[in-house]
Every structure is written in structure tokens, then in C-alpha cells.
């Protein structure tokens, strides 16, 4: 089956699915394979559940009488279909990546743009070689603009995704110590994320640049730029100061003060990027202000949870050394007695224990009232338990500890990598 034939089938469907646990009616099912599953085995089930067509890559499952069609490689076919669909689209697409803050920035941009346009944006963590094609294939004739997030943990992944998305605009939030194992170090991270810049430069597209970030300014030389930041010469002079309270500082553009409910001064640049995007696409400034001020973080990302005796900042969506240090430094500025519960950071390679030790020492330097370190990596570092610092090998151990204690600290930060599932600790605080 060639791409034109595949596309003609796609146009008859409402959407594309890869999971038989969720098969919408009139969808197109792609039978993907992984280490522990073979989607080909579920093609017939997908058709019976309501899929119009199933695409398989093992001949024995082909059955054209049941609208089940064979291709050599279903993942490759999914990606080529998405790219083919992209060529048919005539709307601006913004692609963004970065070590920290990309999901928050994507959602802020989407909130702002949605005040004027019908926007399609990446849902959840659909930001990889499977999620991005699925996102592109959700774009329909009613959409007027798209915001697509790109994640990566190896070199050349952003290059691949950029060529798949073919964005008209791009933005890199920052460079940090994320996925060091795959990228081989911070320089690898910079090189990998900059693959978006390479695409934009080679294809004469446009980049949004935080002019406060010298590295981003340096690496975007030669690309058509839209600059924003604490700089009167920027295209959009968007001013904010250091936050003394730990909250996101007030953002000012043309005498308009925008107050974000987000925690953390590190979110100021995320807000500023969304403002710049909104202004570029001629969203009214008052509507931009409204979109920023009504946005509330959820899904375990800097989520503020008010309990009877505690305020918990839940940041269990992900973690790396850069985001961990920023969160801790910001948390220290908050008022009241403070407790931090930190979970392991993953994909750090040879730097794993060193980076965990640096973060543990940072918590001590900042003088928190109570420090709980959770996971095998933190448990292995050469730092003895102290009165205010305790190490736990597993999340279950810290759950038992919380159940046995009366927690007196008023403000609590919970942060760790997704695999630690630290949001489950919420069940062990009295509501």
C-alpha cells in the first residue's frame, strides 16, 4: 500500500489510534510493536471495536475483507502518513522543545492563542516519535494554528521530529542537565535541542528567542528572530524582576501588568514566551493577560494543593538536576516552615550519583526544616542521615514514615522523576 492509498483511507476516518483499549468509532488503527506487545495481534479486535481500518506489518494478520491492510513497517507508515498530511496543511505550526518548562510553555501558548484561534496542541506527553505523528494527524480543516511539543533523549531525535513537523516557528525554552545518559552530557543536550535551530535556519523559518538567555541568542544567529525579554531593544520588551517571594513575578508589557498564578520565578520566561507568541499572532493584549492569569498548572506540574494544615507544591511530572535546583532555590524563598521530598532523577548515566549528591547538599545549604530523599539513587549517595535529612530506598518506605509522623511543616515541595510516582504521597497527608 503506497502513501496515497493510505492517505485516502485516513481521510475516511475520524482519528488515528494505536491502542485497542481506546478505539474510537471510525478510527484508523496502527498495529505498533514494543518490547512487551505486538499490536498486530489486536488488529481484528480493533475492527470489531469500531475501527474502520487496521494497518499491520505482519502478513499473517492481513485481511482485506476485514479492512486490515499490510505495510512493511507500521511505525514508519504512521510517520510517513503524518508527514504527508503535514504537506496538505496550510496553517502555521509552532514547534517547541527544551530541557525544562516546555509543557508549561506549550499550554500557556495554547491558552493565549485560543483566545482568537482554534488551536491544536500536543496532549499530555505525546511529544516523541509516536506521539508527534499522532498529534499531526489530529489536525483537521477547522484548526487555524498548531502548537507541537518535541521531547528527546538522544541526538538526532529533534532533527527527525523537526523534519516531520516542518514548523513555521520554533522555540527552545532552555538547556539543562536532562537526559544526560542519552545525550552524553550538557554539550550533547545543547547540540540535540539546537537541531530545531538547524531546521529553522536551513528552511528560512522563524524562531522565538528569550533575549535574556545569552546562549539562545548566540545559537540563533542567522535565523529570522522574534526576540522578547528584559531588553528595550527586543521586539517585545517584556519586563520582570527576580521574585523575592518565590512566586512567579509580575510581568509587564506596555504598562500592562500580568500576574501569573504559577509558582516559581523560572516560570517568568515561560509566560513571556506565551505573550510574545500571542502578540505575534495579533491576540489582543487584554485577552493575553486574561489567558495567562486564568491558567492553572495541573497534572503534577508545579501544582499547588491546599490541605487543612499544609500547602503542597506537587512537581512530580518530571525532574532533572537543572529543574531540581531551580525548584529548590525558588522554594527556599517561600514563607513558613518548609519540608522537601525529593525523588530520584533518571537517565543521568555516569553522572547519576554525583548529581544526586549535589542536589542533596543543595537542600542542606538552603536550610530546609525537613528533607526526605527517596529512591535507590539518593539512597546510595555518601551522605549520612541527619536529624532533618532522611533517606528512603523506596516510595513505600517514605509512605510508611509519613503515616507514622505528625507533619508540622506548613509548606511542602514534592519533586521527582515521573517513574517515582511521588503524587501517590498525597494520600499520606491528612486532607
101 is in an annotated binding site: yes
Distance from C-alpha of 379 to C-alpha of 353, rounded to nearest angstrom? 10
188 is in an annotated binding site: no
416 is in an annotated binding site: no
375 is in an annotated binding site: no
CB-facing half-sphere around the CA of 232: CA atoms within 13 A: 0
Is residue 342 within 8 A of residue 374, CB to CB? The reply is yes
104 is in an annotated binding site: yes
Backbone angles phi, psi at 2, to 5 degrees: -85, 175
Distance from C-alpha of 92 to C-alpha of 170, rounded to nearest angstrom? 11
Distance from C-alpha of 271 to C-alpha of 207, rounded to nearest angstrom? 17
Distance from C-alpha of 42 to C-alpha of 56, rounded to nearest angstrom? 10
User: Which residues lie closer than 8 Å to 25 by C-beta, 6 or more apart?
Assistant: 14, 50
Which residues sit opposite 227 in a β-bridge?
A: 209
Cell matching residue 332: 527556599
98 is in an annotated binding site: yes
269 is in an annotated binding site: no
3-state SS of 283-350? Answer: CCHHHHHHHHHCCCCCCCCCEEEECCCCEEEEECCCCCHHHHHHHHHHHCCCCCCEEEEEECCCCCHH
Binding site for ATP: residue ranges? 98-104
Binding site: residue ranges? 98-104
Amino acid at each position: 500500500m503506497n502513501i496515497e492509498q493510505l492517505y485516502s483511507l485516513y481521510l475516511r476516518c475520524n482519528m488515528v489510534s494505536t491502542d485497542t483499549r481506546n478505539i474510537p468509532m471510525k478510527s484508523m488503527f496502527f498495529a505498533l510493536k514494543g518490547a512487551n506487545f505486538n499490536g498486530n495481534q489486536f488488529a481484528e479486535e480493533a475492527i470489531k471495536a469500531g475501527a474502520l481500518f487496521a494497518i499491520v506489518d505482519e502478513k499473517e494478520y492481513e485481511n482485506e475483507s476485514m479492512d486490515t491492510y499490510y505495510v512493511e513497517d507500521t511505525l514508519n507508515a504512521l510517520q510517513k502518513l503524518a508527514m504527508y498530511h503535514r504537506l496538505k496543511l496550510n496553517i502555521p505550526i509552532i514547534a517547541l522543545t527544551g530541557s525544562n518548562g516546555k509543557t508549561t510553555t506549550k499550554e500557556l501558548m495554547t491558552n493565549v492563542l485560543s483566545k482568537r484561534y482554534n488551536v491544536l496542541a500536543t496532549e499530555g506527553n505525546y511529544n516523541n516519535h509516536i506521539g508527534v505523528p499522532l498529534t499531526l494527524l489530529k489536525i483537521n480543516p477547522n484548526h487555524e494554528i498548531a502548537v507541537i511539543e518535541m521531547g528527546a533523549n538522544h541526538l538526532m531525535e529533534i532533527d527527525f521530529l523537526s523534519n516531520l513537523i516542518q514548523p513555521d516557528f520554533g522555540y527552545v525554552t532552555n538547556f539543562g542537565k536532562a537526559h544526560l545518559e542519552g545525550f552524553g552530557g550538557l554539550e550533547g543536550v545543547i547540540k540535540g535541542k539546537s537541531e530545531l535551530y538547524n531546521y529553522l535556519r536551513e528552511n528560512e523559518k522563524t524562531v522565538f528567542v528569550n533575549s535574556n538567555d545569552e546562549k539562545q541568542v548566540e545559537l540563533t544567529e542567522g535565523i529570522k528572530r522574534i526576540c522578547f525579554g528584559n531588553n528595550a531593544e527586543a521586539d517585545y520588551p517584556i519586563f520582570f524582576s527576580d521574585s523575592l517571594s518565590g512566586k512567579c513575578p509580575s510581568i509587564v508589557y506596555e504598562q500592562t501588568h500580568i500576574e501569573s498564578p504559577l509558582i516559581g520565578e523560572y516560570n517568568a520566561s515561560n509566560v513571556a514566551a506565551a505573550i510574545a507568541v500571542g502578540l505575534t499572532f495579533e491576540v489582543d493584549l487584554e485577552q493575553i493577560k486574561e489567558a495567562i492569569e486564568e491558567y492553572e498548572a495541573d497534572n503534577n506540574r508545579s501544582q499547588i494543593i491546599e490541605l487543612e494544615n499544609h500547602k503542597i507544591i506537587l512537581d512530580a511530572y518530571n525532574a532533572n538536576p537543572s529543574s531540581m535546583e531551580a525548584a529548590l532555590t525558588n522554594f527556599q524563598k517561600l514563607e513558613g516552615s518548609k519540608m522537601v521530598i525529593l525523588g530520584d532523577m533518571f537517565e543521568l548515566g555516569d553522572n547519576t550519583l554525583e548529581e544526586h549528591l549535589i542536589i542533596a547538599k543543595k537542600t542542606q545549604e538552603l536550610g530546609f526544616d525537613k528533607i526526605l530523599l527517596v529512591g535507590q539513587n539518593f539512597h546510595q549517595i555518601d551522605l549520612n542521615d541527619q536529624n532533618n535529612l532522611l533517606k528512603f530506598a523506596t516510595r513505600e518506605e517514605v509512605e510508611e514514615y509519613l503515616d507514622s509522623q505528625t507533619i508540622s511543616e506548613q509548606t511542602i515541595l514534592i519533586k521527582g522523576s515521573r517513574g517515582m510516582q511521588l503524587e501517590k504521597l498525597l494520600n499520606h497527608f491528612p486532607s
